Amino acid sequence: MGLLDHFRSFVKKKALIQEGDRVLLAVSGGVDSMVLAHLLLKSGIEIGLAHCNFQLRAAESEEDEIFIRNWAKTNQTPIYVTSFQTETLAQEQKTSIQVLARELRYNWLEKIRQQESFTSILTAHHLNDSLETFFYNFTKGTGLAGMRGVPLRNEKIIRPLLFADKETILRYAKEEGIPYREDSSNPTDKYARNKIRHHVVPILKQINPSLEDTAARNFNILNQSFLLFQDRIEQFKTKWIEEIAGQLHIRIAGLQENPRTQQTLLFECIRHAGFHFRQVEQLLLQLSKRRVGAIYYSMSHRLLVDRDVLILDRLETVDDTSNSILISKETEMIALSEGMLIFETKNGKPDFFGSPDQSALLDAETLMYPLQLRKWKAGDAFCPLGMNGQHQKLQDFFSNNGFSRFEKEKTWLLVDAKGKIVWIVGYRIDDRNKINANTNSFLDITYVKDSL
């Protein structure tokens, strides 16, 4: 069966496109999207083209846009084009170019779909994209959802080329004489996915020459397993979770009833609130103590341990650049985007002192609560441990330790009720809060960094 016949069969079997549908195809000018455009026209499906110029490859980006406009004119196809100053926006928003480009692209595509009354948005992801996504997500520590490769459907987004591998697409383009543009960044190892494509996949194909076919079967199994997994999660939520006045109440008895899977069950109930799987593991260890009133934080929510329930509530104010979190004596864990902080007050003196990038041991009697976790600001100063009580501006501390601008912006400060810095998280405590001969109790703060 040729690619065109396989495409038509796949679309019909999966009910991806119905008779009379108008679809908006995201095109880059590369071989994948241009082959999909050809297949759609050959199948008599009404399409519109949508192209994002991210202005990342200088003249090449402009040439891609011209190429696509000319193709649309030749094939009498409506076209929609936009451009973004992607690199500048990524710097301003302190995010990666790839993440931002994806967000900009899909937001704009949905806007055009609604404005122009298209039924769905089509992208040209194929089987090799799914394979690369699997390995990329695996290295980043994703859950079962990320192991399924690229999803066939995602609300109004459809990917009707997922059955085809790259080699088949290239062969079809050559046979049909389909013009397309080459992206100069594809042969490089600039991006993580390119490294997987150029180095990981070829080695695996030496072990299994039919790697793509095997992957397709495995993705089908994983997708079926994921459906069962989702059903189980929904059953748990229906039985053990209740929403009251905008808060989620998770009954602890439900977790106790499922000891072997309680970490996954709780994670799936609170992952939307910014808690990570490893943080949930630590939370459950602390939960075994069953201290009523203990509070755990993510950057957007807090989780309160009440008598018989965990109460999940949204923080009143969330500001990504200057967010701060108050810490009471009852706080046991705070989840940050880069890891978590675990708090434990202990009697006596510590038996040993760990690495300053992993923990802080502070004389409990010198701490004025509530403590606060915040980002640094101009004028901040502290007395670094080991400098005999001498003050130092944080700007000087950062400079002396070779901090980049981004590192400074990511650094957290732990301050007391009067605003005095007691710890530059992961780096240095204040000399005035150190353990000394008169220490009777101490606050042990463990900083568990997310290594992924």
- DSSP of 147-169: GG-S-SEETTEE-TTTTS-HHHH
Query: Can you tell me the distance from the alpha carbon of 22 to that of 302, in angstroms, rounded to the nearest whole number?
Result: 44
Query: Can you tell me the distance from the alpha carbon of 339 to that of 335, in angstroms, rounded to the nearest whole number?
Result: 6
Q: Report, as an integer, the average pLDDT of 62-69.
A: 93
Task: Report the share of the chain in percent with pLDDT over 70.
Answer: 96
For the chain, the farthest-separated pair of C-alpha atoms sits apart, in whole angstroms, at 84
Q: Is 273 strand, coil or helix? A: helix
* Most confident by average pLDDT, 121-125, 186-190, 357-361: 121-125
| Domains of the chain, earliest start first | 3-226 (3.40.50.620), 231-449 (no CATH)
* Helix (H) / strand (E) containing 47: strand 46-53
The three-state DSSP-derived secondary structure of 358-395 is CEEEEEHHHCCCCEEEEECCCCCEECECCCCCCCEEHH
Task: Report the share of the chain in percent with pLDDT over 90.
Answer: 62
List residues bridging with 374 in a β-sheet. 413
Res. 218: pLDDT tops 90: yes
Q: Report, as an integer, the average pLDDT of 185-210.
A: 87
Q: Which 8-state DSSP code applies to residue 173?
A: H
Res. 236: pLDDT tops 50: yes
The token pair that represents 203 in the structure block: 């080695």
pLDDT band at residue 340 using 50, 70 and 90 as cut-offs: confident
Cβ within 8 Å of residue 131, ≥6 positions away? 149, 201, 211, 212, 215
The token pair that represents 247 in the structure block: 């808060």
Q: Report, as an integer, the average pLDDT of 250-261.
A: 95
pLDDT band at residue 450 using 50, 70 and 90 as cut-offs: low
Q: Whole-number mean pLDDT of the chain?
A: 89
pLDDT at 319: 41
Cβ atoms of residues 421 and 430 within 8 Å? yes
Res. 216: pLDDT tops 80: yes
pLDDT at 322: 46
Q: Report, as an integer, the average pLDDT of 285-294.
A: 73
Query: Can you tell me the distance from the alpha carbon of 194 to that of 230, in angstroms, rounded to the nearest whole number?
Result: 32
The token pair that represents 87 in the structure block: 């690199």
Res. 448: pLDDT tops 70: yes
Res. 176: pLDDT tops 50: yes
Res. 291: pLDDT tops 70: no
pLDDT at 55: 77
The token pair that represents 306 in the structure block: 């009440």
Query: Can you tell me the distance from the alpha carbon of 143 to that of 280, in angstroms, rounded to the nearest whole number?
Result: 13
pTM of the model: 0.69
pLDDT at 321: 38
Query: Can you tell me the distance from the alpha carbon of 70 to that of 4, in angstroms, rounded to the nearest whole number?
Result: 24
pLDDT band at residue 317 using 50, 70 and 90 as cut-offs: very low
Residue ranges in 94-210 assigned as alpha helix (H):
97-115, 127-140, 166-176, 192-195, 201-207
Q: Report, as an integer, the average pLDDT of 413-432.
A: 94
Top pLDDT among 300 and 36 is at 36
Handedness of CA 432, 436, 439, 445 (dihedral sign): positive
In this structure, the strands spanning 441-449 and 339-347 are antiparallel
